[in-house]
Amino acid sequence: MKPSNSLERVLAVLEVFSEERLEWTSEDLMAHLGYSRPTLYRYLKILKDAGLLMSSRNAGVTLGPKVVEMDYLARRSDTLVLSGQPHLKALTARYSCNAMILRWYGNKILCVVSETSARNLVSSYPRGRPMPLGRGAIARSIMAYLPRARLMPLIEQNLDDLRSVGLGVSVEEVRQSMKRVRKAGYAVAFGEVTAGAVGIAAPVLDDRGAPIASICVTITGAQVDGAGIDRIAADVKAVANEISAVRADSDNS
């Protein structure tokens, strides 16, 4: 959908930046966005003056220092970070693992805070890096709780990946796999996102039962057997349920 007003058109400039494309020239922006030169230059000036963009050495633009400032403020104000971090510390004290809280927004999932007690287990998705929707326990813990109208398009868009990890060969088979995740209250994945790691995730729900985040523990596969995974899953699910209950109470107060 094309931007329909000036604010959306300005924000669309920020949306083009990604891990694959960290820097853009004015010419490339005009070609990609379809803006006239005067319009683009006006938007770039607004964004540079706000510190959201800055000029690069290669006559292009990159994200600016205001983004870093806003990230700092987000860490200080995000209620999921503030209320959830003690739970992550408790999980990493109990297991040699990474423990994360990941937010769901739009069609993206990204880590907002993490703790680790594992020496050699490295997360492939640190704070701020969007995660794939077709792989991993985190994505399934979120997708399983989405209403059908929102879930089905996501399954269709990510069907190749979902097939590759054994969730089914058709959209309906994958949907049935998601129903089983929802019934269990958590998802488990083996090496789908980070090689050699087991991911165990459960959703954080709002007061209407909609998923807003996920709690996940990743642990080296050699450290756990089936019984160990069951214990971690119970702890992760309990943490997710507790945070969900606290959020529901605050939303209704």
CATH number for the domain spanning 14: value is 1.10.10.10
Q: Are 89 and 207 within one domain?
A: yes
Q: Are 206 and 89 within one domain?
A: yes
**209 pLDDT more than 80:** yes
Task: Give me the half-sphere count of Cα atoms (radius 13 Å) on the Cβ side of residue 251.
Answer: 12
Residue 127 lies in a domain: yes
**214 pLDDT more than 60:** yes
**222 pLDDT more than 80:** yes
Average pLDDT over residues 54-79: 93
Q: Are 94 and 129 within one domain?
A: yes
Phi-psi region of 226 (alpha: psi -120 to 50; beta: other; left: phi over 0): alpha
Q: What is the reported pLDDT for 2?
A: 63
Residue 1 lies in a domain: no
Structure tokens belonging to residue 45: 């000036």
Check: CB of residue 245 under 8 Å from CB of residue 209: no
Beta strands in the chain (DSSP E): 24-25, 53-55, 60-63, 98-105, 108-116, 187-190, 197-205, 211-220
Q: Which long-range contacts does 123-129 make (Cβ < 8 Å, 24+ apart)?
A: 123/98, 123/194, 123/218, 124/193, 124/194, 125/193, 128/71, 129/19
Check: CB of residue 60 under 8 Å from CB of residue 25: yes
Q: Are 48 and 159 within one domain?
A: no
pTM of the model: 0.86
Residue 72 lies in a domain: no
**206 pLDDT more than 60:** yes
Report residue 199's pLDDT band, with 50, 70 and 90 as the boundaries.
very high
pLDDT in tens, 93-131: 999 999 999 999 888 899 999 999 988 766 778 888 888
Domain containing 135 equals 78-252
**205 pLDDT more than 70:** yes
Provide the sign of the torsion angle of the four alpha carbons 104, 107, 110, 112, taken in this order: negative
Residue 96 lies in a domain: yes
Q: Amino acid letter at 59?
A: A
Question: Chain-wide mean pLDDT for the chain?
Answer: 92
**Of the listed ranges 7-11, 66-70, 125-129, the one predicted with least confidence:** 125-129
Q: What percent of the chain has pLDDT over 70?
A: 95
Q: In 3D, which of 85, 122, 130, 87 has the Cα closest to residue 105?
A: 130
Q: Are 58 and 108 within one domain?
A: no
**Of the listed ranges 34-38, 117-121, 241-245, the one predicted with least confidence:** 117-121
CATH number for the domain spanning 203: value is 3.30.450.40
Domain count, the chain: 2
**3 pLDDT more than 70:** no
Check: CB of residue 221 under 8 Å from CB of residue 197: yes
Average pLDDT over residues 159-163: 94
Q: What is the reported pLDDT for 14?
A: 96
**158 pLDDT more than 60:** yes
